[in-house]
């Protein structure tokens, strides 16, 4: 087996970092030195967002593949994907931070389409706006 060491990889006739393709059945070496076949595209996060649910309209602090957000009601938010998912069976995870010491806090994703993720934040059994919510989406892009 050969080892390739390089500072820049280019496609023939291309420019640095452009049009390099990785096959779905790529083999990589894990930390333990074992060669593993992995679909690299499927194992990547397809969308994430960190946002302020107390701001007018739910303001994203930072995000990936989120084109816009909608504040639909107290504690209810919708993220709109820039690039749609291939179906509405993707997996999502949410979490939130409360700075007021309230109890019985949870955030969850409540609905999804190929182009949106609906998020709800509850404290003490009712919808509440909170200053920090994060979401992560895994699945296949369309």
Q: Are 71 and 57 in contact (CB under 8 A)?
A: yes
Closest to 84 measured CA to CA, from 31, 140, 25:
140
- Between 84 and 16, the more confident residue is 84
8 Å CB contact between 132 and 91:
no
Structural domain boundaries of the chain?
A: 47-138
Check residue 137 and give its pLDDT: 94
Q: How confident is the model at residue 89 (pLDDT cuts 50, 70, 90)?
A: very high
Q: Which residues contact 5 (CB under 8 A, 6 or more apart)?
A: none
Structure tokens at 61: 């602090």
User: 31-45, 59-73, 122-136 — which is least confidently predicted?
Assistant: 31-45
Topology, domain 47-138: Immunoglobulin-like (2.60.40)
Given pLDDT bands bounded at 50, 70 and 90, which one contains residue 95?
A: confident
> Measured over all CA atoms, what is the biggest interatomic distance in the chain, rounded to whole angstroms?
60
Contact between 118 and 76 (Cβ < 8 Å): yes
Q: In this structure, what DSSP letter does residue 85 have? A: B
Confidence of residue 66 (pLDDT cuts 50, 70, 90): very high
Model confidence over 14-57: pLDDT tens digits? 665 555 566 667 777 767 777 777 676 777 899 999 999 987 77
Residue 115: the pLDDT is: 97
* pLDDT on residue 21: 65
pTM flag (> 0.75): no
Q: Which segment of 8-17, 33-42, 83-92 scores lowest on mean pLDDT?
A: 8-17
CA distance 114 to 140: 10
Give me the mean pLDDT over the 101-113 stretch: 77
Mean pLDDT, the chain, as a whole number? 82
- By three-state DSSP, how is residue 107 classified? strand
For residues 25 and 34, what is the distance between their CA atoms, to the nearest angstrom?
A: 15
For residue 115, what are the CA distances in angstroms to 62, 69, 89? 19, 12, 12
């Amino acid at each position: 087996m050969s080892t390739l060491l390089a500072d820049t990889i280019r496609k023939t006739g291309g420019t640095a970092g452009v049009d390099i393709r990785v096959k779905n059945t790529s083999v990589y070496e894990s930390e333990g030195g074992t060669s593993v076949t992995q679909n690299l595209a499927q194992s990547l996060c397809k969308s994430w967002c960190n946002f302020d649910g107390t701001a007018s309209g739910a303001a994203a602090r930072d995000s990936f593949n989120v084109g816009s957000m909608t504040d639909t009601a107290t504690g209810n938010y919708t993220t709109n994907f820039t690039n749609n998912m291939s179906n509405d069976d993707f997996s999502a995870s949410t979490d939130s931070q409360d700075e007021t010491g309230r109890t019985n806090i949870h955030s969850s994703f409540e609905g999804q389409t190929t182009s949106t993720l609906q998020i709800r934040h509850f404290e003490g059994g009712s919808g509440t706006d909170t200053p920090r919510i994060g979401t992560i989406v895994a699945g296949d892009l369309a």
